[in-house]
Amino acid sequence: MRSLAFILIFTGVVVFSSNNANAQCKNFAKRVCRLELSPFIHDGNYNAAILTEGEDAELFKTFYAGQEYRIAVCGSESLPKVEFKVMDVERRVLFTNASKDYVPFWDFKVEATQQLIIMVKVLDNPGGSDPDMLASGCVAIMFGLKAN
Protein backbone atom coordinates (compact mmCIF):
# COMPACT_ATOMS: atom_id res chain seq x y z
CA MET A 1 0.00 0.00 0.00
CA ARG A 2 2.86 2.34 0.88
CA SER A 3 4.50 1.74 -2.52
CA LEU A 4 1.26 2.57 -4.30
CA ALA A 5 0.77 5.71 -2.20
CA PHE A 6 4.36 6.75 -2.89
CA ILE A 7 3.91 6.34 -6.67
CA LEU A 8 0.66 8.32 -6.58
CA ILE A 9 2.17 11.14 -4.52
CA PHE A 10 5.33 11.23 -6.59
CA THR A 11 3.35 11.42 -9.84
CA GLY A 12 1.10 14.12 -8.37
CA VAL A 13 4.04 16.22 -7.20
CA VAL A 14 5.88 15.87 -10.53
CA VAL A 15 2.75 16.89 -12.47
CA PHE A 16 2.06 19.76 -10.04
CA SER A 17 5.60 21.16 -10.11
CA SER A 18 5.80 20.80 -13.91
CA ASN A 19 2.43 22.59 -14.37
CA ASN A 20 3.50 25.26 -11.92
CA ALA A 21 6.78 25.83 -13.80
CA ASN A 22 4.89 25.99 -17.12
CA ALA A 23 2.42 28.50 -15.67
CA GLN A 24 5.29 30.67 -14.39
CA CYS A 25 6.96 30.44 -17.79
CA LYS A 26 3.74 31.49 -19.54
CA ASN A 27 3.38 34.52 -17.26
CA PHE A 28 7.03 35.43 -17.74
CA ALA A 29 6.68 35.27 -21.54
CA LYS A 30 3.48 37.35 -21.50
CA ARG A 31 4.40 39.93 -18.89
CA VAL A 32 8.12 40.37 -19.40
CA CYS A 33 9.41 39.11 -22.73
CA ARG A 34 6.48 40.33 -24.86
CA LEU A 35 7.26 43.90 -23.74
CA GLU A 36 10.77 43.61 -25.23
CA LEU A 37 9.14 43.40 -28.66
CA SER A 38 7.60 46.87 -28.54
CA PRO A 39 7.09 48.75 -30.93
CA PHE A 40 6.95 45.56 -33.03
CA ILE A 41 3.78 43.44 -32.83
CA HIS A 42 4.18 40.01 -31.32
CA ASP A 43 3.35 37.28 -33.87
CA GLY A 44 1.29 35.40 -31.25
CA ASN A 45 3.44 32.24 -31.09
CA TYR A 46 4.63 30.89 -27.74
CA ASN A 47 8.11 29.38 -27.56
CA ALA A 48 9.43 28.96 -24.03
CA ALA A 49 11.10 26.27 -21.96
CA ILE A 50 12.69 25.69 -18.59
CA LEU A 51 16.46 25.55 -19.06
CA THR A 52 19.31 24.97 -16.63
CA GLU A 53 22.77 26.60 -16.62
CA GLY A 54 24.80 25.28 -19.55
CA GLU A 55 21.73 23.98 -21.42
CA ASP A 56 20.75 25.15 -24.87
CA ALA A 57 17.77 24.96 -27.24
CA GLU A 58 17.23 25.60 -30.93
CA LEU A 59 14.35 27.05 -32.89
CA PHE A 60 13.79 26.76 -36.65
CA LYS A 61 11.76 29.42 -38.41
CA THR A 62 11.30 30.83 -41.89
CA PHE A 63 11.64 34.61 -42.23
CA TYR A 64 9.94 36.26 -45.20
CA ALA A 65 11.39 38.75 -47.67
CA GLY A 66 10.42 42.35 -47.04
CA GLN A 67 9.14 41.80 -43.50
CA GLU A 68 11.06 43.45 -40.67
CA TYR A 69 11.45 41.28 -37.56
CA ARG A 70 12.55 41.59 -33.96
CA ILE A 71 13.79 38.51 -32.10
CA ALA A 72 13.59 38.78 -28.31
CA VAL A 73 15.26 36.16 -26.11
CA CYS A 74 14.64 36.56 -22.41
CA GLY A 75 15.74 34.55 -19.38
CA SER A 76 14.04 34.73 -15.99
CA GLU A 77 15.81 36.52 -13.12
CA SER A 78 17.04 33.27 -11.56
CA LEU A 79 19.23 32.58 -14.61
CA PRO A 80 22.70 33.81 -15.56
CA LYS A 81 23.10 35.58 -18.92
CA VAL A 82 21.43 34.00 -21.95
CA GLU A 83 23.34 33.99 -25.23
CA PHE A 84 21.50 33.76 -28.52
CA LYS A 85 22.87 33.18 -32.00
CA VAL A 86 21.11 33.51 -35.34
CA MET A 87 22.48 31.06 -37.91
CA ASP A 88 21.72 30.15 -41.50
CA VAL A 89 20.89 26.55 -42.42
CA GLU A 90 24.57 25.79 -42.82
CA ARG A 91 24.99 26.97 -39.23
CA ARG A 92 27.06 30.03 -40.15
CA VAL A 93 26.58 32.60 -37.40
CA LEU A 94 24.93 35.80 -38.68
CA PHE A 95 24.44 37.42 -35.29
CA THR A 96 25.34 36.72 -31.68
CA ASN A 97 24.28 38.88 -28.76
CA ALA A 98 27.56 37.91 -27.04
CA SER A 99 29.22 40.65 -29.12
CA LYS A 100 26.54 43.17 -28.02
CA ASP A 101 26.77 42.75 -24.25
CA TYR A 102 24.01 40.08 -24.28
CA VAL A 103 21.31 42.50 -25.44
CA PRO A 104 17.96 40.61 -25.33
CA PHE A 105 16.73 41.49 -28.82
CA TRP A 106 17.84 41.96 -32.42
CA ASP A 107 16.08 43.71 -35.33
CA PHE A 108 16.64 42.61 -38.91
CA LYS A 109 15.05 42.00 -42.29
CA VAL A 110 15.83 39.48 -45.00
CA GLU A 111 16.29 40.33 -48.66
CA ALA A 112 15.15 36.87 -49.72
CA THR A 113 13.06 34.44 -47.68
CA GLN A 114 15.31 32.31 -45.46
CA GLN A 115 15.02 29.57 -42.94
CA LEU A 116 17.15 30.50 -39.94
CA ILE A 117 18.12 28.75 -36.72
CA ILE A 118 17.97 30.57 -33.39
CA MET A 119 20.22 28.92 -30.82
CA VAL A 120 19.84 29.98 -27.18
CA LYS A 121 22.22 28.95 -24.42
CA VAL A 122 22.11 29.65 -20.69
CA LEU A 123 25.69 30.48 -19.74
CA ASP A 124 27.48 28.71 -16.93
CA ASN A 125 27.74 30.77 -13.78
CA PRO A 126 30.18 29.01 -11.43
CA GLY A 127 30.43 32.18 -9.32
CA GLY A 128 26.68 32.22 -8.54
CA SER A 129 25.20 32.65 -5.06
CA ASP A 130 25.53 28.92 -4.37
CA PRO A 131 28.54 27.50 -6.26
CA ASP A 132 27.27 23.92 -5.77
CA MET A 133 23.90 24.49 -7.39
CA LEU A 134 22.84 24.96 -11.03
CA ALA A 135 20.25 27.65 -11.59
CA SER A 136 17.26 26.91 -13.81
CA GLY A 137 14.45 29.07 -15.10
CA CYS A 138 12.33 30.09 -18.03
CA VAL A 139 13.78 31.12 -21.38
CA ALA A 140 11.38 32.59 -23.95
CA ILE A 141 12.04 33.19 -27.65
CA MET A 142 9.54 35.61 -29.18
CA PHE A 143 9.16 37.27 -32.56
CA GLY A 144 7.89 40.73 -33.36
CA LEU A 145 6.63 41.96 -36.75
CA LYS A 146 6.84 45.54 -37.94
CA ALA A 147 3.38 46.69 -39.00
CA ASN A 148 2.87 47.29 -42.75
Partner 1 sequence: MSKRVLADNIKWLIGSTLILFLLGCSSESSRKDRIEVDASEISSQELAKEGIQTARQIFYSLPSPLETAMILKRSGAQYNEELLNPVDNASKYTTNKSMALNLGIYSTDLSYASLFDQTQASIKYMAVSKRMAEGLGILNAIDNTIVQRLEENVNNREAIMDIISESLLNTSSILEEDDRVAIGSVILVGGWIEGLYIATSLVDDVKQADNELVDRIIDQKLSLSTVVNLLEQHKDNSDVNEVLGDIKALAAVYEKIQISFSGVEAVEQEGQTTVLRSKNVVSVNPTVFNELRNKVASIRTKYIM
Residues contacting partner 1: total by CB under 8 A: 74
CB of 88 to partner 1, least distance (A): 4
Contact indicator for 20, 137 with CB cutoff of 8 Å: no
Among 32, 98, 123, 136, which residue sits at the site for partner 1 (rule: CB under 8 A)? 136
Instruction: Please list every residue from 11 through 70 that binds partner 1, using CB under 8 A.
Output: 13-14, 16-17, 19, 22-23, 26, 29-30, 34, 41-49, 51-52, 54-68
Specify the residue, 47 or 98, whose C-beta has the smaller distance to partner 1.
47
Cα–Cα distance measured from residue 51 to residue 119, given in angstroms and rounded to the nearest whole number: 13
Specify the residue, 22 or 102, whose C-beta has the smaller distance to partner 1.
22
Cα–Cα distance measured from residue 10 to residue 31, given in angstroms and rounded to the nearest whole number: 31
Closest C-alpha to 39, from 70, 6, 66: 70
